[in-house]
């Protein structure tokens, strides 16, 4: 029986003769004193919240409980969690498949050139007879790994700057704000071109470029959060008690910022992946021999007028799907971590 | 700052409260008139941007001589000729010295010589900016108008079909790579249907004097549409949030109890309160439109600033790259400034330069 919201709000009131909620787990006639040896751990745990009420008590209890969500897919939060895990699994599968297929993505077969999508090659083949499905998956794997590096590095920069702004006084705060404004004042693509150029283009250039330019928006959010934290009485207490800045950072700031940080980290992926593909497409990123979505699409540019539509359409759609999946994961984590939506 | 609103998805309200708090801080330098403060900020921004871009460009291991002369020509060059070329491209001077020389020139309006286009950087930028600005302005206005309309419609019909459609569209578009969208548009409308030209800003092979305004407009349509389609998503989503906020407010509820319908409430109360955030969003989107134009211009071979930036970056043309970075930063700054000035025009409460505190 799936439990919906309405059931959650009903009072749990045991009635004589009504099937007890824990009937599955505790079938013994004397559930008041359950023998610890009789019930195995799993059954006790699953029936645990409702167990005390399973007994035909003479009067209704005074305490009001929400009915626990019993079924595996019941409740929005569980469904969110399931969707989140499913999306994450697909992403991991894409990376693994891409890594495994990397040699196949390079294999050329000149007897099978420029094939339109068919059962043997669902995404078609290019002008060197390479299977586009393998190339796309390998490219996506590269993109996700670059995105991972970028998200981790950028979010750590953001966290560090937020901590400096929060704990370093007004001048540090002003400096951090100015730095954020400065980086946001240059269009992101132009900045990426500059950083990539500075590092001599290529794989290193694009990875570092994407990694060190995605922090401003998250830094701004985290800074705002730390400003709010600074106004809290318990922080003033800690300061008055002489707790060091480092301890305040580790004990108060990090736990306070963690939800925003994790969400920001995951939501950085889509941006990083799109920017990596864009910069590679422009010619500043990964070298042509490496399988990457940007490389595939920029090569497909020369075949657009020749009618080889599959070279551009499918890799682009696959990239879109990966970005959407990351977005789902981020949105799911936000819903699960945000205290305001706990009851939804 | 106008750009703050970009982060609304994370919790803009708190941030605004903090910004207000921060602006009340006592530790402020003696107050200059607002235009002087903006001028100082602009000068600081330009100095910092130019230095950072200059430093980045000089860090590059890409040898401008090799990149531009070509491998074969470089290999067959005599050492004297190589040294001469290196001196011409300024490869051996230390960074600070070069920056000082460049900055002294920049103050007099001389941004150096574009090595790739063999013309002064200011000239190249001015020429490219003309066609680029036409493209960006068209896309910018279209994105603003369509985004506002979609956002209002979605917010007013919250959780009903129009809202769902708009949200699905925005969600999808914001996850789509701009350049891929441009490619698909090019493929469908130019290659398959043949409605639009295959790129460039004028017919291929036509003399510059014979190109009419209609020709240019015709070549502009498809890139501008693609660019605006991607710009719509952000504006529509934020406008929707704001409309939902307005419709849940006390005054909207009061208006409804007086018997006004949803549309009347939106028209009489919603739109006025939407003007400020819409302006902020519209001007903050300049940065994104510029970024998008780099990609779209590349796909459509449209000779604008973005394409020049790519050419400069790939060809090792450092002065032009610095010039374009400066131009784009100035454009973004001008957008934010325009938003601040317009606040004062629209809302008497923000007049007199207090616009930083109130958004």
Q: What part of B 274-333 touches A (C-beta under 8 Å)?
A: 287-288, 290-291, 294-295, 298-299, 306, 309-310, 313-314, 321, 324-325, 328-329, 332-333
Instruction: Convert the pLDDT of each residue in A92-135 to its tens digit.
Output: 888 888 888 777 777 777 677 667 777 777 777 777 777 788 88
Confirm whether A344 is domain-assigned: no
Question: Are residues B187 and A309, on separate chains, in Cβ contact within 8 Å?
Answer: yes
The number of beta carbons lying within 10 Å of the beta carbon of residue B182 is: 25
Cα of B178 vs its chain's centroid, Å = 14
Beta bridge partners of B113: B120
Q: Are B166 and B153 in contact (CB under 8 A)?
A: yes
Structural domain B127-358, CATH architecture: Orthogonal Bundle (1.10)
**One-letter-per-residue 3-state SS of B111-155:** CCEECCCCEEHHHHHHHHHHHHHHHHHHHHHHHHHHHHHHHHHHH
Token code pair at residue B79: 């050492």
Give φ, ψ of B23 to 5 degrees. Answer: -75, -15
Confirm whether A198 is domain-assigned: yes
Question: Are residues B60 and A197, on separate chains, in Cβ contact within 8 Å?
Answer: yes
Reading chain B (359 residues) residue by residue, the pLDDT tens digits are 344 444 444 444 455 555 555 555 555 556 777 788 888 888 888 888 888 888 888 777 766 666 666 556 666 667 777 677 666 666 566 777 778 877 877 787 777 777 777 778 888 888 888 888 888 888 999 999 999 999 988 888 888 888 889 988 888 888 888 888 888 888 888 777 777 777 666 666 666 666 677 777 777 888 888 888 888 888 888 888 888 888 888 888 888 898 888 888 888 888 888 877 888 888 888 888 888 888 888 888 888 888 888 888 887 777 888 888 888 898 888 888 888 888 778 777 766 544 444 44
Nearest chain A residue to B187, by CA:
A304
Question: Are residues B187 and A319, on separate chains, in Cβ contact within 8 Å?
Answer: no
How close B188 comes to chain A (CA, Å)? 9
Look at residue A281 in the predicted model and tell me its pLDDT.
Answer: 85
Q: Residues of CATH 1.10.3720.10 domain(s) within chain B?
A: 127-358
Look at residue A8 in the predicted model and tell me its pLDDT.
Answer: 43
Q: Is B194 left (phi over 0), alpha (psi -120 to 50) or beta?
A: left
Confirm whether A66 is domain-assigned: no
Distance CA A43, CA A34 (A): 12
CA torsion sign for B183, A268, B275, B247 is: positive
Q: H-helix or E-strand containing A333?
A: helix A310-337
Q: Are A121 and A131 in contact (CB under 8 A)?
A: yes
Look at residue A5 in the predicted model and tell me its pLDDT.
Answer: 43
Instruction: Convert the pLDDT of each residue in B122-150 to its tens digit.
Output: 888 888 888 888 888 889 999 999 999 99
* Residues with Cβ within 8 Å of residue A90, at least 6 apart in sequence: A325
Q: What is the DSSP letter of A68?
A: P
Nearest residue to B108 (alpha-carbon basis) of B118, B122, B124, B94: B122
Q: Domain count of chain A? A: 1
Nearest chain B residue to A323, by CA:
B175
Cα of B153 vs its chain's centroid, Å = 26
Q: Are B289 and B232 in contact (CB under 8 A)?
A: no
Beta bridge partners of A125: A131
Look at residue A57 in the predicted model and tell me its pLDDT.
Answer: 53
Question: Which residues in chain A show pLDDT less than 70?
Answer: 1-75, 110, 113-114, 307, 339-344
Q: Are B285 and A255 in contact (CB under 8 A)?
A: no
Distance CA B185, CA B196 (A): 10
Look at residue A14 in the predicted model and tell me its pLDDT.
Answer: 44
Confirm whether A143 is domain-assigned: yes
Q: H-helix or E-strand containing A321?
A: helix A310-337
Distance CA B342, CA B280 (A): 10
- How many residues can be counted in chain B? 359
Nearest chain B residue to A297, by CA:
B180
Predicted complex ipTM exceeds 0.85: no
Rounded to 5°, angle at Cα B289 from B288 and B293: 115
Look at residue A46 in the predicted model and tell me its pLDDT.
Answer: 45
Confirm whether A51 is domain-assigned: no
Instruction: Convert the pLDDT of each residue in B217-275 to its tens digit.
Output: 777 888 888 888 888 888 888 888 888 888 888 888 888 898 888 888 888 888 888 87
Distance CA A110, CA A129 (A): 5
Look at residue A13 in the predicted model and tell me its pLDDT.
Answer: 45
State pTM to two decimals.
Answer: 0.74
CA torsion sign for A195, A200, A205, A206 is: positive
Confirm whether A3 is domain-assigned: no
Contacts 24+ apart (CB under 8 A), B245-250: B246/B155, B246/B270, B246/B273, B246/B274, B247/B155, B247/B156, B247/B158
Look at residue B357 in the predicted model and tell me its pLDDT.
Answer: 43
Confirm whether A224 is domain-assigned: yes
Token code pair at residue B159: 């959780």
Domain of residue A197, CATH code: 1.10.3720.10
Look at residue A23 in the predicted model and tell me its pLDDT.
Answer: 41
DSSP secondary structure, A47-64, as one string? HGGGGGGGS--SS--SS-
Taking CB atoms and an 8 Å cutoff, what residues of chain A touch B321? 193-194, 197
* Domain range for A311: 76-102+126-337
């Amino acid at each position: 029986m799936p439990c919906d919201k309405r059931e959650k709000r009903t009072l749990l009131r045991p009635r004589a003769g009504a099937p007890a909620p824990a009937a599955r787990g505790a079938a013994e006639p004397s559930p008041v004193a359950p023998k610890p040896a009789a019930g195995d751990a799993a059954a006790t745990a699953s029936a645990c919240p409702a167990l005390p009420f399973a007994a035909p008590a003479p009067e209704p209890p005074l305490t009001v409980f929400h009915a626990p969500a019993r079924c595996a897919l019941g409740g929005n939060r569980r469904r969110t969690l399931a969707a989140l895990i499913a999306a994450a699994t697909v992403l991991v599968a894409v990376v693994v498949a891409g890594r495994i297929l990397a040699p196949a993505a390079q294999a050329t077969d000149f007897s099978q050139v420029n094939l339109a999508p068919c059962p043997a090659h669902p995404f078609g083949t290019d002008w060197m007879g390479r299977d586009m499905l393998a190339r796309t998956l390998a490219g996506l794997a590269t993109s996700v790994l670059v995105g991972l590096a970028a998200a981790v590095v950028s979010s750590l920069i953001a966290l560090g700057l937020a901590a400096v702004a929060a704990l370093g006084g007004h001048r540090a705060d002003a400096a951090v704000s100015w730095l954020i404004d400065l980086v946001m004042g240059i269009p992101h693509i132009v900045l990426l071109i500059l950083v990539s150029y500075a590092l001599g283009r290529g794989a290193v250039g694009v990875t570092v470029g994407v990694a060190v330019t995605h922090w401003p928006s998250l830094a701004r959010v985290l800074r705002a959060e730390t400003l709010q934290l600074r106004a809290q009485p318990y922080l003033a207490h800690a300061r008055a008690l002489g707790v060091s800045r480092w301890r305040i950072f580790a004990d108060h700031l990090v736990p306070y910022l963690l939800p925003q940080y994790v969400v920001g980290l995951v939501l950085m992926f889509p941006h990083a992946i799109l920017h990596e593909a864009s910069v590679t497409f422009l010619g500043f990123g990964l070298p042509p021999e490496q399988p990457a979505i940007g490389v595939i699409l920029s090569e497909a540019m020369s075949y657009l007028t020749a009618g080889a539509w599959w070279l551009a359409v499918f890799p682009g759609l696959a990239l879109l799907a990966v970005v959407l999946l990351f977005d789902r994961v981020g949105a799911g984590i936000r819903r699960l971590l945000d205290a305001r939506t706990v009851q939804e | 700052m106008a750009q703050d609103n970009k982060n609304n998805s994370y919790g803009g309200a708190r941030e605004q409260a903090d910004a207000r708090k921060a602006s009340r801080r006592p530790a402020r330098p003696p107050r200059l008139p607002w235009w002087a403060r903006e001028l100082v900020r602009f000068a600081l921004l330009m100095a910092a941007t130019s230095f950072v871009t200059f430093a980045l460009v000089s860090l590059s291991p890409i040898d401008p001589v090799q990149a531009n002369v070509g491998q074969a020509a470089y290999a067959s060059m005599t050492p004297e000729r190589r040294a001469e070329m290196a001196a011409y491209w300024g490869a051996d001077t230390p960074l600070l010295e070069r920056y000082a020389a460049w900055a002294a020139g920049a103050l007099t309006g001389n941004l150096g010589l574009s090595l790739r286009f063999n013309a002064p950087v200011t000239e190249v930028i001015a020429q490219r900016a003309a066609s680029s600005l036409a493209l960006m302005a068209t896309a910018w206005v279209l994105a603003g108008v369509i985004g506002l309309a979609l956002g209002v419609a979605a917010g007013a019909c919250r959780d009903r079909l129009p809202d769902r459609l708009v949200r699905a569209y925005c969600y999808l578009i914001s996850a789509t790579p701009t350049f891929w969208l441009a490619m698909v548009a090019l493929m469908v409308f130019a290659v398959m249907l043949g409605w639009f030209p295959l790129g460039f800003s004028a017919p291929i092979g036509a003399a510059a004097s014979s190109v009419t305004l209609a020709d240019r407009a015709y070549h502009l349509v498809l890139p501008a549409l693609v660019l605006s389609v991607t710009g719509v998503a952000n504006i529509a989503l934020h406008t929707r949030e704001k409309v939902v906020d307005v419709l849940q407010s006390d005054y909207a509820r009061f208006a409804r109890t007086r018997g006004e319908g949803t549309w009347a409430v939106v028209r009489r109360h919603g739109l006025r309160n939407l003007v400020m955030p819409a302006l902020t969003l519209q001007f903050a989107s300049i940065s994104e439109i510029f970024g998008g134009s780099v990609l779209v211009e590349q796909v459509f071979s449209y000779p604008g600033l973005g394409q020049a930036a790519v050419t400069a970056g790939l060809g090792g043309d450092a002065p032009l790259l610095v010039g374009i970075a400066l131009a784009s930063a100035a454009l973004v700054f001008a957008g934010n400034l325009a938003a601040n000035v317009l606040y004062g025009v629209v809302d008497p409460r923000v007049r007199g330069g207090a616009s930083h505190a109130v958004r």
